[in-house]
Structure 1
């Protein structure tokens, strides 16, 4: 396993990350813009343990190109794929390390996290599944020819995670013209984090998780390509307001909504005009959209 201490990655900033990466065209386009895209939330997480390699492989077997994940950082500075700030819900950490409550990701080294079972909680079939590193996860996404909606999870807990993530994406070959134009979006609930990603690498498409007021949308359009609200916040008027603005790459802003696992709701928001639906059950959403002509 290649270890990349945070200090080493941050030092890379002195070299100028943007200077290391081939510049992509400012005119960012999406091959999916004329239809509602289905995004597998944490992989096909209704059918395999979330945020594992098994989950994105399940999405691949079901035929889904877009997957979503969550990135956090270990105590010793490694990036791993996990949703919760604690390891308790989706691993056996309470049994392996019973005296380490509240079992926060940031309190464990990568070596310790790699000892955990991240599959048995979901089903005995997945016993022995591990929490993947970002490096291993990107290798699997690339092998599957998938596209990635990457969330920087709780970035306020991990200073410098924007630069570190971009550095790992660069090492994985994911900051070239083809990837940033067609296969990668970085999102977060933290607007400052998205600003930092845009500042560090302006070619990368970005998304804000939430529903800013219509009056505030022009500010977000300066550094966001997507506004990605919960589906209960979605209205036709709000979608129209988002689509009426151009993002930092001079393309109309998009709206992806989450988390919808039933057909009728998926069809409803698709008819309103959403660009994407993030779902734990991508096959259910896809079938509903296809049956409705979406």
Structure 2
């Protein structure tokens, strides 16, 4: 029997973010009884993270779910990049040596489009670019994949929730087919995810973190999933999450991150998680299949 919280206190919601169900996606890559495999920042163990090449590599491996990170440029363009700084995954220090600390929010979309986002990973990826959100969802759509979209550091980008939803709507990602089983929006920021839920209740949402069991009734009001780090997981915690029903009338789900080896994959699969987020989706799929 699933329980619903009657009230959500402000205290319980502060600093929280949620995750939404993958709607029967568990059979996509790991068999009818196995967890869904999600390619973290694309197949980022094999191609530069958050690039179109990483999306394509996931597709080549037969992985249907990909995860990405969304931030905003100085002139208001949404781009797909994990770090707040461009320094780790692009050649920004060479192209713009006097612009330290090279924050995404301090560069225009045109400036970011000049950067090489692939050479750091390997010479075969030289010239890969930081994609815009439009470019990224086009590629995911082209590959017939599904998207777990993370709003990264939304506190830096006021209004990014509404802007992201507008881009998704413009690209056809908020129709019934997509929201029913091809899209989840997640964040570490609970207020941000709650905003997404309020703006577009049909969109599945996810919290990245491990809230206390006593707080789960509050999350169940606006989250479809709870997505913790694998190091914080136990079988009892997964069972506790599954005991609640989310806003779309389904039991809360658990996707765990970031699992990159077979032994850990088998261990968390034994906890009955609904999904595993990984840089090496083929390794995890083969381990839990």
Return the TM-score normalized by structure 2: 0.90
SS at match of 1:121: coil
Query: Using a 3 Å threshold, how does the CA distance of structure 1 residues 119 and 28 change in structure 2: closer, same or farther?
Result: closer
Aligned position for 2:24 = 30
1:36, 1:275 within 8 Å by CA — same for their partners in 2?
yes
> 1:214-273 CA distances to partner (integer Å, 9 max, x unpaired)?
000110111100100000111011100100000000100000000000001000000111
Per-residue deviation, 1:127: 0.3
For 1:28 and 1:263, locate their aligned partners in 2 and report how far apart those are by CA, in whole Å: 22
5 Å-filtered alignment, 1:1-294, equals 29-32=23-26, 34-290=33-289
> 1:7-58 CA distances to partner (integer Å, 9 max, x unpaired)?
xxxxxxxxxxxxxxxxxxxx99434275300100000001000000000000
For 2:239 and 2:230, locate their aligned partners in 1 and report how far apart those are by CA, in whole Å: 15
1:28, 1:251 within 8 Å by CA — same for their partners in 2?
no
For 1:227 and 1:140, locate their aligned partners in 2 and report how far apart those are by CA, in whole Å: 27
Unmatched segments (≥5 aa) in structure 1: 1-26
For 1:289 and 1:31, locate their aligned partners in 2 and report how far apart those are by CA, in whole Å: 15
> 1:152-195 CA distances to partner (integer Å, 9 max, x unpaired)?
00000000000000000000000000100110000000000010
Stretch of structure 1 that moved more, 249-258 or 29-38? 29-38
For 1:83 and 1:35, locate their aligned partners in 2 and report how far apart those are by CA, in whole Å: 28
RMSD: 1.1
Aligned position for 2:6 = none
Q: Specify which structure has the bigger relative contact order, considering alpha-carbon pairs within 8 angstroms and separated by 6 or more residues.
A: 2
SS at match of 2:57: helix
For 2:144 and 2:22, locate their aligned partners in 1 and report how far apart those are by CA, in whole Å: 20
Instruction: Please list every run of at least 4 consecutive aligned residues from structure 1 whose deviation after the TM superposition is greater than 3 angstroms.
Output: none
For 1:199 and 1:75, locate their aligned partners in 2 and report how far apart those are by CA, in whole Å: 26
1:71, 1:83 within 8 Å by CA — same for their partners in 2?
yes
> 1:262-285 CA distances to partner (integer Å, 9 max, x unpaired)?
001000000111000000000000
For 1:87 and 1:142, locate their aligned partners in 2 and report how far apart those are by CA, in whole Å: 26
For 2:254 and 2:40, locate their aligned partners in 1 and report how far apart those are by CA, in whole Å: 16
Unmatched segments (≥5 aa) in structure 2: 1-20, 28-32
Return the TM-score normalized by structure 1: 0.88
For 1:228 and 1:199, locate their aligned partners in 2 and report how far apart those are by CA, in whole Å: 20
Per-residue deviation, 1:200: 0.1
Aligned residues: 264
2:34, 2:288 within 8 Å by CA — same for their partners in 1?
no
1:28, 1:249 within 8 Å by CA — same for their partners in 2?
no
For 2:23 and 2:230, locate their aligned partners in 1 and report how far apart those are by CA, in whole Å: 24
